[in-house]
Structure 1
Amino acid sequence: MVNRIPITEVIRARLRTERDRTGIAPSALLRITEKDRPKDLSISAPGLWIRGDLSSLKPEHLEFVLSAYEACPTTRLAPEIEASFREKLQSEIIRTGIRPQRLLGASCADKPQDLRADAVIRWMKGIGPQLAESYLAYLLDRYAKLPDIPSERAPISSIFRQKLHTERKRTGISSAGLLKEASDPPDSLTANVINSWLTGRAKTARKDHMDWVIAVYSAAPDQDDHQSP
């Protein structure tokens, strides 16, 4: 009988910690160590352990994966540097109107082998492991070579919408409040228009309006900074 042990939350947490510490996805780790990897340990298995899709594993498989992770250096970025990368990437997506899926599509021949659009999206939403700094630099370099959206109107992406929600939460300023406090609001931009971006009712918007709203929110202080003591 094959000796197997249950996959506990402690095991999952340890694997997640090592994944995030090194910035290496489990599948990428097993590709790197393919020469030494046990033949009956599939590349997809550790990811299934972490997600809870499997309930047990062979102890020697766990030992191999943890040992392989321990041999990898720590590459996790400091929180403020990671936040800066995320901010820059959000700005580039909004500027160009190009989502990661399109940027890293079939025509992108020189992308790193393990860099996938879905991993970029999860990281930007704060629900996936950190991307390697070299991957983030690659993304920003590719975006820097792209022109601004040529049209006067631009699609309202989920990335833009997330950015807008984040800024509203950070500042505590509503759509109406933003327009009221600003010294130079565009004549045709209303609170209802901004709210339609937030709810997803509007699919496109004037690019200059989108740029203005993000610029004004970004310049506003955090909510705690402008509250009376």
Structure 2
Amino acid sequence: MYSTRLKVSLGRPSSTRAAVVLAVLTLCGCASQIPATIRTPPAVTVDLAQVQRDPARFTGQPVRWGGTIIAVRNHPDNTEIEVLARPLDAVGAPRAGSEGQGRFIARVGSFLDPAEVGVDRELTVVGPITGTETRPVGDYPYLYPIVRVEHRYLWPAAPPPSADVYYGPGFSPFYGPWYDPWFRSGFSPWYRPYGPYFRPPRRARHR
């Protein structure tokens, strides 16, 4: 009994190290697939609020902006993507769950199918500021910076959340045979999800 527990406890660090190495390799592989034009920040960083305050100063300035797609509108000679700007991480991806920084229009000189470039997807674009346009957001006149898109990257959609699966006895050495899926919230005294389990005391039989 004790020797079994010792083997389990000694095996965890190597398993953890292997998982960390695998995660790092996966991240490196994913990063290598992102175009360099998206991963590389511009020499001068300009945020959306600066352009709204002084549009003339920043017209022609290249930017790398990204965020969550709000709307996609097709026109005869271009496609406009309305984006809620968010901070970008080290590889140019919008930071999930971060606060919005305002709205901008990404103007692409070709047709994009709204079924593929859909609402709520994450997008990063690179290109120069061509000016601003005032458009209503509800009843409010909002000043949109316009970016002429030279490079763009539509980030892969997040996979749907996995179903809550019951891992039965024998699936993992860290689950006891009395593991009860109905008491996952912690009400069961015998639920031990992360360590060696202990056999519950036997109940006296009533005759």
Shared fold (TM-score, shorter chain, > 0.5): no
Structure of higher RCO (CA pairs closer than 8 Å, 6+ residues apart) = 1
Q: How would you bin the TM-score normalised by the shorter chain?
A: under 0.3
Q: Larger helix proportion, structure 1 or 2?
A: 1
Tell which structure's C-alpha radius of gyration is larger: 2
- TM-score for the superposition, normalised by structure 2: 0.24
Higher share of residues assigned strand: 2
